[in-house]
Structure 1
Amino acid sequence: MSPADAGALLALADGYHARTVRPLGSTETAGHVVKSYAIEAPGRAVTDQDAQAALRIAAAHLSSACLRGSIGLSVLLVHAGGDGDYVLVHTWIEGYMSDLAVFTGPAGEINGLRPGRSGLAPCVWEAAVLAHERDAFSRHVLDGAGALEERLSAWRGDVLQGEVR
């Protein structure tokens, strides 16, 4: 059985490459502990100003997160992509589930990001970071031992850094 669009799949494979991921620290905003990351396409960089703008976007989104069942932990991805800029706000919510908001816009215009279209999901590089964060959340917060503050400290310290594919 062959794929419906073999040409498109092969074109994706030909252009596939590693992207750099680096932690941007954690902070508290809008009643949430927010753990932040930069994801950078070749030739692109996430600046301090980009990170601050992304935190403002996250704060606005998280200000109503309790209505979506938030339990107060969030991961912020600031992605300087090859075709534009992206901010993802991933929030752990009740029932072992998560909430995801994706904001998109032209490259270099992070202050102009708007909510992505309905159904938009993480790209392969963003998904790699979120997979790490799922494991860190499960390992340190859900399966962790000790007081909650110790578990949260371990979660905040468990970061992904380097290249992802």
Structure 2
Amino acid sequence: MAFAEKYLLALPPVEIAGRQLKRYHVTSDPAGIEPEVEKAAYALLPELLPPPDGTAAAGFVVLHRGDDTGAYLNTYSWVWDNVLHFGGAAAGQAALDCPDTDPTHFVRVDRSWIGCVWELAPLGHERDAWVRHMLTPDAPDLAGYLADALPSGTTGTGTGTGVGAGAGR
């Protein structure tokens, strides 16, 4: 299997089920993820989020459109002050027990997998941003955390080069 980086697009945060979520999209297609796949994925998001526990209701989402019929939704929510909760779903992927090849038919995936190599690109940045804005200051800065996203680019660079913000599409 030949490996190739994919495009990573950082999108503005959204509020879903009372939780503010940064958004990252991963795809091989420079045009981005199809709107119908995004809409279907985000409709399932509330089912993947943990209940409130007193931690700032924030986290991030990675939506990945595979090169075949598959689409993958990974949700990472901050809980217990400094712990990352994971919830996952997939569509169009028989190997993950999806009922069909429709990339908009998302079902919850209850495996202990937290993401593939392309989906993991934001994790290090998000950890550092949480420490920088929520754990280190005298007063947590949720707005600062939400504004601090990994730049759009490719999944391997994290430098904001390639596609997206300021680089053209």
The 1-side partners of 2:54 and 2:79 are apart by: 4
Q: Does 1:55 pair with 2:50?
A: no
The match for 1:31 is 18
Count of aligned residue pairs for this structure pair: 146
Aligned to 2:98: none
Structure 2 unmatched runs, 5+: 94-100, 157-169
Residue by residue over 1:113-157, the C-alpha shift from the partner in whole angstroms, topping out at 9 and shown as x without a partner, is 112242222101111112221111111121235x54xx1121111
Q: Quick one: distance in 1 between partners of 2:108 and 2:31?
A: 22
The residue aligned with 1:138 is: 131
Whether the 8 Å contact between 2:19 and 2:58 is mirrored in structure 1 is: yes
CA distance in structure 1 between the partners assigned to 2:64 and 2:37 by the alignment: 10
- Cα gap change, 1:43 to 1:95, in 2 (>3 Å): closer
Give me the identity figure in percent: 23
Q: Is 1:106 aligned to residue 92 of structure 2?
A: yes
Indicate conservation of the 8 Å contact 1:44/1:80, yes or no. Answer: no
How far the C-alpha of 1:44 sits from its partner, in A, is 7.2
Structure 1: 4+ residue segments shifted above 4 A: none
Contact 1:125-1:164 within 8 A present in 2 as well: yes
8 Å CA contact 2:59–2:78 kept in 1: the answer is: yes
TM-score (norm 2): 0.75
SS in 2 for 1:125: coil
Paired position in structure 2 for 1:93: 79
> What's the CA shift for 1:75?
0.7
Q: TM-score, normalised by structure 1?
A: 0.76
Greater fraction helix: 1
RMSD: 2.3
Q: Is the 8 A contact 2:40 2:106 kept in 1?
A: no
Post-superposition CA distance 1:40-66 (Å, at most 9, x none): 12477313333332222112322xx22
Contact 1:70 1:91 in 2 (8 A): no
In the alignment, what sits opposite 2:51?
66
